[in-house]
Amino acid sequence: MLKKRGADAPFSSSENFSEKEVVSFGEKEYKVQIGIDLASSEKVFLRFPIPRIGFICGKRGMGKSFTLSVIADQLSSFSDVLVIDTMGVMKVYAHGDVIKAPHDLKLPLSLVGESLLFAFDLSQNSPQGILLARAINEFKGSFYTLDDIIDRVELDAHSSDTTKRALINRLLSAKDWGIFSDYPSEIDFLFEGYKVLDLSLLRYELRQLVTWTLCDVLLAERMREKKDRNIYLVVDEAQDYAPARSTEKNSLVRLAKEGRLPGIGVILASQQPSAISDGVLSQADFLISHRLTLVEDIRSLKALTPTFMKGDMGVYMRKISNPGEGIFIDDIEEDFRLISVRRWNDEK
């Protein structure tokens, strides 16, 4: 993980992994050409011998989504890749199969569980929250629909009619979201091959609900059964899913912390490093920062400066100006450069 300047322990991204534990690819070396060195024009590569956590930042329009797509496209040749496309932009850059929510994706409520309270903005201690949690708990382990929950709520003997009516209204409105499945359905297809999940038609809370549910399902599945192919979750606009001040319970933070061992890497992009959870940033083992100008963002980035990097982040930041140009830090290789991000076949 990227360490603060002055931290005494020498960096090792694989410090938590013994060779046997890491999902191994044998002799073959998997790498991504990220672009060219601005000073020497030589090609710059990112190697993926183990699942990695990466962070891309930069102010509006400086190339974060494009950079994510350069990485995702190449990763897809040797890993499964799922891109979370919040704004419907990544599907333009990245060459995976586009899945459009809610049309092409329905979540079984059993996978969502008590996170439904979050989507309704209900506290666990409110009368409606208690009633909903009770209903959901009774169905635990089986498939159920919103109608099943509505029927169960109507029959509840411990809640007032007002509470029941209010909750049923919420459940009825959730039917219009179109995101929950009416019959047992699989979502595993998202974790195979190269998929770009377009969430742009969903409102904010539902994007979070879907993304966090996918994080939980993916982690649980890979914990249960290791696969011989790693998977990368690529998340644009990551501040929406792992915002600053997220708790350890945040599903994306958990995935970044616990996913490497069962073969899950995470690559995030955000305009503002200061808006992202420290819990995720501290896991990053590579960083690409396109141009940033806000003092608080440069300060957040400085906090991630690794011990091997010489010079001041703010000074390097002033040397990059065009979209695609950025500061590149690879903690595994202990590599630091200024780069211009390019597609593999973008030869001048």
Ligand X SMILES: Nc1ncnc2c1ncn2[C@@H]1O[C@H](COP(=O)(O)OP(=O)(O)OP(=O)(O)O)[C@@H](O)[C@H]1O
The binding site for ligand X (CB under 6 A) comprises 58, 60-66, 89, 271, 323-324, 341
H/E element, 27:
none
Do 44 and 61 form a contact (C-beta atoms < 8 A)? Answer: no
| Shorter beta-carbon distance to Mg ion: residue 146 or 269 | 269
Decide if residue 76 touches Mg ion (CB under 5 A).
no
Query: How far is it, in rounded angstroms, from Cα 211 to Cα 219?
Result: 12
86 interacts with, out of Mg ion, ligand X, none, CB within 5 to 8 A per kind:
none
Decide if residue 270 touches Mg ion (CB under 5 A).
no
Least Cα distance to 14 among 6, 22, 5, 26 occurs for 22
Instruction: Give the dihedral of Cα atoms 16, 18, 23, 28; nearest 10 deg.
Output: 120
Q: In this structure, what token pair is assigned to residue 242?
A: 């792992």
- Shortest Å distance, C-beta 65 to ligand X: 3
Contact window for Mg ion (CB under 5 A) among 62-70, 139-147, 214-222, 284-292: 62-70
Contact window for Mg ion (CB under 5 A) among 58-66, 118-126, 144-152, 198-206: 58-66
61 interacts with, out of ligand X, Mg ion, none, CB within 5 to 8 A per kind:
ligand X
For the chain, the straight-line distance linking the first and the last C-alpha, in angstroms and rounded, comes to 34
Contact window for Mg ion (CB under 5 A) among 31-39, 60-68, 122-130, 147-155: 60-68
Least Cα distance to 327 among 294, 296, 302, 295 occurs for 302
348 interacts with, out of Mg ion, ligand X, none, CB within 5 to 8 A per kind:
none
Query: How far is it, in rounded angstroms, from Cα 76 to Cα 65?
Result: 16
- Shortest Å distance, C-beta 197 to ligand X: 17
Decide if residue 65 touches Mg ion (CB under 5 A).
yes
Number of other CB atoms surrounding residue 229 within 10 Å:
13
324 interacts with, out of Mg ion, ligand X, none, CB within 5 to 8 A per kind:
ligand X
| β pairing state of 335-341 and 325-330 | antiparallel
- Shortest Å distance, C-beta 346 to ligand X: 8
Go through 23-34 and write b for each residue having 16 or more CB atoms within 10 A of its CB, e for each that does not: bebeeeebebbb
| Shorter beta-carbon distance to ligand X: residue 1 or 87 | 87
341 interacts with, out of Mg ion, ligand X, none, CB within 5 to 8 A per kind:
ligand X
| Shorter beta-carbon distance to Mg ion: residue 160 or 322 | 322
- Residue ranges in 189-228 that form contacts with Mg ion under rule CB under 5 A: none
323 interacts with, out of ligand X, Mg ion, none, CB within 5 to 8 A per kind:
ligand X
Decide if residue 33 touches Mg ion (CB under 5 A).
no
Minimal CB distance residue for ligand X: 324
Least Cα distance to 301 among 313, 284, 286 occurs for 313
Do 229 and 81 form a contact (C-beta atoms < 8 A)? Answer: no
66 interacts with, out of ligand X, Mg ion, none, CB within 5 to 8 A per kind:
ligand X
DSSP 161-221: HHHHHHHHHHHHHHHHH--B-SS----GGGGSSEEEEE-TTS-HHHHHHHHHHHHHHHHHH
- Shortest Å distance, C-beta 301 to ligand X: 15
- Shortest Å distance, C-beta 176 to ligand X: 29
28 interacts with, out of ligand X, Mg ion, none, CB within 5 to 8 A per kind:
none
Binding site for Mg ion (CB under 5 A): 64-65
